[in-house]
Amino acid sequence: MAYQDRVCILRASDDSDYAPVFDEAFDGVMDIEWSPAGNYLSVLTRWNKQQGARDTGTPHRNLLLYEVDERGDAEPAAQQIAAYTEKFTFRWNVTWAPNAELFGRQESNTVFLYRTAEPTRYFTHITVPRMTAYTLSPGARPSLVAFVPEKGSEAACLVAYDVAAIATADAGKKPLPLAQKRFFRADSVEFSWNARGSSLLALTKTEVDATGKTYYGETSLYYMSLVPGKTFDCRVDLPKQGPVHDVKWHPEGREFAVTYGTMPSRTSIFDVRANVAHTFPEASRNTIAYSPGGRLLALGGFGNLSGEIDIWDRTTLKKVSTFTASNASLCEWSPTGRHLLTAILYRRLKVDNGVTIWHHSGRLLQQLATKELYDVAWRPAQPAETAAWPETRALSPPPAGLAAQPAKKSSAPYRPPGMRHLPIGGPAAAVRTVPGQRAPAARTIPGMTPKPPSTEDVSTADLSTPDGVAKRIKAVTRKIKKIAGVEEKQRAGESINPQQQSMLATRPAVEKELADLQARLAAM
């Protein structure tokens, strides 16, 4: 837990009563971050230019690295193992290899690599001019990929190096890159590795779309395979125009899914050569979530979309269910891959906060409402509990669920927040008047005779005269045109309200009335 002036670690075992096992004061805590395995903690404090020179004569070391160790039943202890100087808050994060045996830090355009066994001294480093971001791959033989943004006429670049080659390279010399990809229109990047660490997806973005097609910049997706002897890179072909909404790897790393394009968006599955393996029907979706075993795939539309979620069986590529989690801002699979959690968080919506648990069949299992919900997550499970479903096993049947709760509608009229403390019917409902001011008179134009209001009722027109019958025919004809317009909407798949449905039911009677009127007019 991080506060402005201290950081504490609580032990969350069942019998510990959340007792603090580490509590230390700091001067201006800015952020904290755990390593992937949870055994190292990084603490960033506010950088003070004068503090280091005043105390030790060296630059202020405001990035602190702690090792959190728990041995048997002993209380976990956090010990500081290294400290670094970090002046910037936008790139302070330590980049860990998944096995936590090494980590990297970026300073300007240089990446320093450290071993956790000796964190106070880097064992190698590499400099890439104009580099703004980098990533370390998972796997036994990690790779480092650096991103260089576009500048003027110089293209953007992704360049990959083998960490072992960096460490063994001669002093002052760069090793040969494993792969390199150049392209234009890229200011920033988001990296996504597959589980094996052999393939990388790089989602590039620009702040401004040079083509003028959108206000929100331009996105592109690049694929890089770093398999030794079989390196391959390309731009992922996304035929439909529009932004890339989400990209996710299959848990086994054998494929990836992309949702892209203007709404309704398109979602496609690509193989390890970036070829399309399957495309789902277009729908308003912007979120992808593979279940932990990869058996199921959830496609959802959140944010400013309706919250609909489609569950697909990846084995058969058939839709399992569709349900709606309105206003949800979080969607996460359970560790077993059988249930889905959706939540409305306070940072997205200030009302109706809560958690909902769904079965993959779409059955509603549990709802928990709360006043202010900031975050929620599944409790991690042991590997034996999260065994993936075999590809041949049938999906589990849905359990008994809850009846869907109808949305509550307030009968009271809307009142602005600043007036809600006042009694109903008081100043909030009063009409503002100015003493001595007259009500505005109706507008008149000099010399113009006002037109009297029409009192003619077409439904009661005199049908004994040809003029009366003609007026009634015009009214009935307009009614038939309205009915035809409603029928056209219905054929186009649009929803119609109950009033329009009752109008459709009157068409035979209206057509009969029109025929009778036309016959009467012809006989006159």
pLDDT over 70 (residue 451): no
Q: Which amino acid is at 423?
A: P
Scored b (16 or more CB within 10 A) or e, 377-410 reads eeeeeeeeeeeebeeeeebeeeeeeeeeeeeeee
Q: Which helix (H) or strand (E) holds 477?
A: helix 466-491
Please return the burial class of 281, using the count of CB atoms within 10 Å of its CB with bins 0-12, 13-18 and 19+: exposed
DSSP-derived secondary structure for 384-417: GGGPPPPTTSPPPPP---PPPPPPP---SPP--G
User: Which of 129-133, 271-275, 442-446, 514-518 is predicted with the least confidence, judged by mean pLDDT?
Assistant: 442-446
The structure tokens listed for 312 are 């697909």
Please choose, from the candidates 284, 371, 294, 286, the residue with its C-alpha nearest in 3D space to the C-alpha of residue 329.
Answer: 286
Q: Return the pLDDT at 195.
A: 86
Q: How many residues does the structure list for the chain?
A: 524
With a CB cutoff of 8 Å and minimum separation 6, the contacts of 342 are: 307, 309, 325, 328, 330, 331, 355, 356, 358
> How crowded is the C-beta side of 117, counted as CA atoms within 13 Å?
3
What does the pLDDT look like over 27-74, one tens digit per residue? 778 888 888 777 888 888 887 776 655 556 677 788 888 888 755 455
> How crowded is the C-beta side of 401, counted as CA atoms within 13 Å?
18
What does the pLDDT look like over 212-261, one tens digit per residue? 666 777 889 999 988 877 888 889 999 988 889 999 999 888 899 999 99
The structure tokens listed for 522 are 């012809």
User: Which of 54-63, 77-86, 103-112, 336-345 is predicted with the least confidence, judged by mean pLDDT?
Assistant: 54-63
Q: Which amino acid is at 485?
A: G
